[in-house]
């Protein structure tokens, strides 16, 4: 079956999520067959509609409980990208008297690109805040830019590539002094570290279901009741009027089931994952010359437990991924692919990694199903794979 070490990309749908999906779709048993009963539109007033509404609201309560929020603060979306777009565009468009957006230089493209769109089409003043070599946002630079013209600060809770956990609490304190709303993209952090919306103090927080074993097209934006947002999708009053459209009842139920399972006994689960990650890191650094662990140090407490991203000098990520795939090992690269042309990761470049080194980036992300035997096998074959990749790079 191979070894899967790309949980940061997606976790795959869990058995609990699939069971909840089938039940909410009115189907008995797995695999799903023909519906036993109709689950209606949640906005309808008849019995099938009321059943659907109950499932949606029960799921909303479950997700709120898992994330330390009030149910009324959970706005369902069609995934994390939509949640980030709603936060960035919605907050800016609602703040008609403010023109500046502050984001960190290592945000996911689903934050950077909506912000860039606002700069291009709505004359927003977009400013990227630098980070240090570990990917931690420069608080002094952020404070310098924070003023009464800022409509929104958006800094991710944890980075999806190098696993950096950002000082969101300090950012919130800084923002409150200027009465600036704060959004955090918590998609990479979901299921990796505890998340409590109330305690974080942010005004908006994005999550995605598929990171914890839910369906791919599910997500939510947690929004404080006082936060003003302009909806991006119009046509109905669903989701507090912030996201029009009929809710996907089975998918929402599956998202809630997956999140509840993922956050149960989270500390024990992540401790096991971190132990395996530490073994992986120690082996690679000991056995592969010139391998560099990018991001925060392992023991710093500032890194997601399942994350390990390396750059391998003299090797190209495409060759590394191909050779790993031939060995039936699934990993990913720190580079983004745009229009078929591989580009160096903006995250690594922002951290001061050279473009040449960034092209040799390889990310391993562990999950709840990762085993010690899988890590041992990877560590056994990886030195040879890196050596082959380096030869291929020299031959280019």
Residues labelled as active-site residues:
337
CA dihedral of residues 357, 106, 127, 182 (deg, nearest 10): -170
* Three-state SS sequence of 172-239: HHHHHHCCCCEEEECCCCCCCCCCCHHHHCCCEEEEEHHHHCCCCCCEEEEECCCCCCCCCCCCCCCH
Euclidean distance between CA atoms 223 and 58, whole angstroms = 18
Max Cα–Cα distance, the chain, nearest Å: 68
First to last CA, the chain: 32
309 by DSSP, 3-state: which?
strand
Euclidean distance between CA atoms 293 and 161, whole angstroms = 12
30 by DSSP, 3-state: which?
coil
| Residue 127 CB burial class (10 angstroms; 0-12, 13-18, ≥19) | middle
- Residue 179's region, left for phi above 0, alpha for psi from -120 to 50, else beta, is left
Q: What angle do CA 291, 356, 112 make, to 5 degrees?
A: 105
Helix axes 249-263 and 15-24, enclosed angle (nearest 10): 150
CB atoms within 10 A of CB 53: 18
DSSP 127: E
Euclidean distance between CA atoms 326 and 290, whole angstroms = 23
């Amino acid at each position: 079956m191979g070894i899967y070490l790309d949980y940061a990309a997606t976790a795959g749908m869990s058995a609990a999520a699939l069971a909840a999906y089938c039940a909410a779709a009115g189907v008995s048993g797995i695999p799903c067959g023909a519906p036993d009963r109709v689950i209606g539109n949640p906005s309808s007033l008849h019995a099938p509609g009321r059943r659907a509404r109950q499932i949606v609201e029960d799921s909303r309560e479950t997700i709120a409980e898992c994330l330390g929020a009030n149910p009324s603060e959970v706005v369902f979306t069609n995934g994390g990208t939509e949640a980030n777009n709603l936060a960035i565009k919605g907050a800016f468009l609602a703040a008609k008297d403010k023109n500046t957006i502050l984001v960190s230089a290592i945000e996911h493209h689903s934050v950077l690109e909506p912000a860039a769109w606002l700069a291009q089409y709505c004359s927003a003043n977009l400013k990227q805040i630098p980070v240090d070599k570990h990917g931690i946002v420069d608080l002094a630079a952020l404070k310098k830019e924070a003023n009464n013209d800022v409509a929104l600060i958006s800094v991710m809770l944890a980075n999806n590539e190098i696993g950096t956990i950002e000082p969101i609490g300090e950012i919130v304190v800084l923002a409150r002094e200027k009465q600036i709303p704060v959004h955090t993209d918590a998609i990479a952090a979901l299921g990796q570290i505890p998340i409590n919306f109330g305690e974080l103090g942010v005004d908006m927080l994005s999550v995605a279901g598929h990171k914890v074993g839910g369906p791919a097209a599910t997500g939510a934006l947690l929004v404080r009741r006082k936060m003003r947002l302009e909806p991006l999708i119009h046509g109905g009053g669903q989701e507090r009027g912030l996201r029009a459209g009929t809710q996907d009842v089975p998918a929402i139920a599956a998202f809630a089931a997956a999140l509840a399972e993922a956050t149960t006994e989270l500390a024990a689960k992540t401790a096991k994952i971190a132990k395996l990650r530490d073994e992986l890191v120690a082996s690679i650094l000991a056995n592969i010359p010139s391998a560099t662990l990018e991001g925060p140090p392992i023991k710093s407490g500032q890194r997601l437990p399942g994350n390990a991203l390396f750059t391998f000098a003299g090797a190209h990520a495409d060759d590394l991924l191909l050779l790993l795939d031939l060995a039936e090992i699934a990993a990913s690269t720190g580079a983004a692919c745009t229009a078929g042309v591989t580009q160096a990761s903006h995250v690594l470049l922002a951290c001061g990694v050279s473009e040449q080194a960034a092209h040799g980036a390889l990310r391993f992300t562990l999950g709840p199903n990762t085993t010690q035997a899988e890590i041992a096998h990877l560590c056994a074959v990886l030195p040879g794979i890196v050596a082959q990749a380096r030869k291929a790079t020299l031959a280019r």
